[in-house]
Structure 1
C-alpha cells in the first residue's frame, strides 16, 4: 500500500520518471553498505530479535509518513528522506530475515521455504495495491498510509511466534570485522558463489527496475492512475504466487540448476514483452509471467547462495546477496528512469531486458558448465573458520 501510494504521489506531483525512479533507488541505496553488516550481525545475535527491532523502526517511519500526510506536510523531499531511512531499516532487516528462514528449516526444504516466503510477500503485492487503490480513491493518501502503519502490528505479532535455533557459541565469539572479512573471502574464493552473486547483480540492474517504474508505465504510457498501477503491481504478485506453488514440483523434476538456467534465459524476453505491450491489459497479462519468472529467478539464486555455506555463514551470505540486489536495483532504477525521460520508457527498459538476455546467452556459450556447481556441495576447506588469534578473542563488537 505504501509503495503504491508514494509511487502515485511522486509521479503525479513531479511528472518525471527520474523522480519516481530516484525515490525507489533511495530505498535500496543504503543496502550497499548496510546489508553486509546486517548479515554479520545476524550471525552473532538472535535473528528474531534483530528482525523485530528493524521492523519496529520501519513502523515508526510509516507512522511519520502518516502524520505528515494528516497535517498536510507531505512533500517529495520528505518522501525522499523517509524512503532513505526506511531503506536503512530494510537493509538491516532483510538479510537477517532470510537467515532466520535458513535457521528455521532443514536444508532440503530451503528452496520451498524461500518460495513460500516469496508467496506471502507477493500476496501482499496483490492485496495491498488493490486495497490501496480503493482507499486512495475514497479517502486519499492519508488513510492509505495510516492502514500501512497499522499493518506492522501483525508483523511484530508473527515474529513473536517464531522460535528459531539460537546462534552457536562460535558464532557469538567471532568479532564483527573478522566475520565481515570471512564472509567476503568465502564469496570471493568460491567461483560458483561469485557467479551467482554477479547474476543477482545483473538481474537487479537490468530487469528489477520494472518494479519501481510501474507507476511511470501506468501514468505516462497508458495515461491511467492508481487503479492501473494497482492492476500491474497485483499482476506481478499473482504471477509470483503461482510460481511459488510450482517451484517445489519443478525443483523435484528439473533440479535447482536447470530451473535457475530456465528462469535466467526467459526473464529478459518476458520483461521486454511487458514493456512493449500495446495495451494495459496486455501488459498486466505479461506481468503475470514476468512476476513468476522474477520470483523463480531470485528464489533460485538466493537458495544457491545459502546452500553453498554452513549455517554460521548464512547471515553474512544473505547480506552480500542483499547488497548485490541493492547496488543493482538502486543504480538500475535511477538510470532507467533518467534515460526514460530523455529517450522514452519503452525503448530503454525493453533494451535493458534484452541486454540481460544477451549476457545470459553469452555466459552459456562461453561457460556451459557455469551453473552445474549450484547443486554440488561446497568444499569444506573453503568455509573453515580462520585460526583463532589472541588479538581477536576479546573486545569484539
Structure 2
C-alpha cells in the first residue's frame, strides 16, 4: 500500500505530506542501525562485565547529557535552520559510530571506550532531538499532528523490530565491528532526508527573544504556567524513571534471568517493536472513538501492570508475549504525551518545549535505568523491576485523584 493510500486512514494521515514521508523514511533507516548497535553493545557489555549495573549505567550515559543539552538544543533549533542543524548532528553521530567500529575491528574495543563514546553520542543525540521533533511538527498541519507523532513512534519501533533481526545474524557471522560499521553508514539516510525537505519559515515567537539562556528560562516558565503541559511532562518523567528502563535491560533479562544468548535478547527487543507497530495502526481509530483524554488516561493506568506482567513472566515465551503487550501500551503512552506537549507549546517555542520534555524524559530514564540495574545486581532483577512497575501505577492513580482531567490529553 502506498503512502498516499495509507494517508486515507486516521492513523496514517501524516503520510499524505511528502516532506514528512522523506524525513520519516530517513529516520527509519538510521533507527534500524541504532537498534542494531543497542543490541550489540548491550550484549557486549553484559557478557564482558556480567553486571546489570554496567549495562544500565552505559545506557544512562547516552541520555544523561540532556540535563544541559536538550534545552540548549531546543533554543538553538528555534533560532536556526533545523534541517542544517539535524544534518550536522547526523554527521557527528556517524563519526562516533565509525570510531566504535574501528576500535572493534582493531581489537581495541573496551567497556570504557563504549562508555565514553556513548556519552558523546548522547550529547549529540539530545542536541538534535528538539530540532527533529519541531521539524516534524512543522511538516504537517495541526489536525495531522497526532498522526505524525504516532507515526514517528512507529518508525522508531519499526527500527526496534528490524534492527535486532539484522543484528543477531550479523553478530554471529561478523561480530560487533560489522554491526557498528553498519550503524555508521545509516546516518547518511538522515542527511539525504533532511536535505530533500523544503526549508521551513521559522514562526515568529509571540515571546520576544532576550538571548539564548534567557530563551531557555522562558521556555521553562511558560511550561510551568500551563498546568496541563506541565503534568504531561511530570507523567513523562515518572514513566521514564520507572517503566522505560525495560528497553535497555532486555539483554540483562535474557542473559541473566533466562540464561539465554544474544538471539533471545534480539527476539525480545523485536517483539516490543511488533507490539508498538500494531498499536500505531490502531491508535488513530481508538483516539477518534474514545477521545484522546480517555485513551491516554487508560493507557497510563494499564502501563504499570503491563510492565509488571513482563518482568514476572516465568518463561521466555511468556516474556515475549508480555513485552509485545508492553510495547503496544508504551507506544500509545509516549505518543500521547508527546502530542500533548507539542499541542500546548506556544507559537515559536515548539523546540524549546520539546527540549524541556526531553530533559525530563532522559534524566528520568538515566536515573531509572542505572538505579534499577544497580539494585537488580543486589536484590534480583525481577523484584526491583516489578516493584518499579507497581510504583508507577501508584503514582498515576495519585495524579488522577489530584487532577483527573489534566493527567491525560484534553480534547481539542
Deviation of 1:142 (Å): 1.1
Deviation of 1:372 (Å): 6.4
The equivalent position to 2:227 in structure 1, one of 171, 191, 194, is 191
Pick which of 142-151 and 329-338 moved more: 142-151
Q: Any unmatched runs of 5+ in structure 2?
A: 1-35
Cross-structure match for 2:23: none
Deviation of 1:164 (Å): 4.8
What is the distance in 1 between the residues matched to 2:279 and 2:205? Answer: 38
Q: If the length of structure 2 is used for normalisation, what is the TM-score?
A: 0.89
- List structure 1 runs of 4+ shifted beyond 4 angstroms: 169-173
Cross-structure match for 2:79: 44
Deviation of 1:162 (Å): 1.9
8 Å contact from structure 1 (residues 25, 331) kept in 2: yes
The equivalent position to 2:174 in structure 1, one of 121, 126, 139, is 139
Deviation of 1:371 (Å): 3.4
Cross-structure match for 2:187: 152
8 Å contact from structure 1 (residues 32, 323) kept in 2: yes
8 Å contact from structure 1 (residues 100, 164) kept in 2: no
What is the distance in 1 between the residues matched to 2:87 and 2:409? Answer: 35
Deviation of 1:123 (Å): 0.7
Matched, 1:126 2:152: no
8 Å contact from structure 1 (residues 43, 172) kept in 2: no
Pick which of 9-18 and 52-61 moved more: 52-61
Root-mean-square deviation (CA, aligned residues, Å) is 1.5
User: Structure 1, residues 148-189: CA drift from partner, whole Å, max 9, x if none?
Assistant: 111112221122222252214558972212211211111111
What is the 5 A alignment of 1:281-300? 281-300=317-336
What is the distance in 2 between the residues matched to 1:356 and 1:94? Answer: 26
Cross-structure match for 2:406: 370
Q: If the length of structure 1 is used for normalisation, what is the TM-score?
A: 0.92
Cross-structure match for 2:392: 356
Cross-structure match for 1:8: 43
What is the 5 A alignment of 1:245-256? 245-256=281-292
What is the distance in 2 between the residues matched to 1:237 and 1:91? Answer: 22
8 Å contact from structure 2 (residues 336, 409) kept in 1: no
Q: Any unmatched runs of 5+ in structure 1?
A: 377-397
What is the distance in 1 between the residues matched to 2:408 and 2:46? Answer: 44
What is the distance in 1 between the residues matched to 2:323 and 2:198? Answer: 36
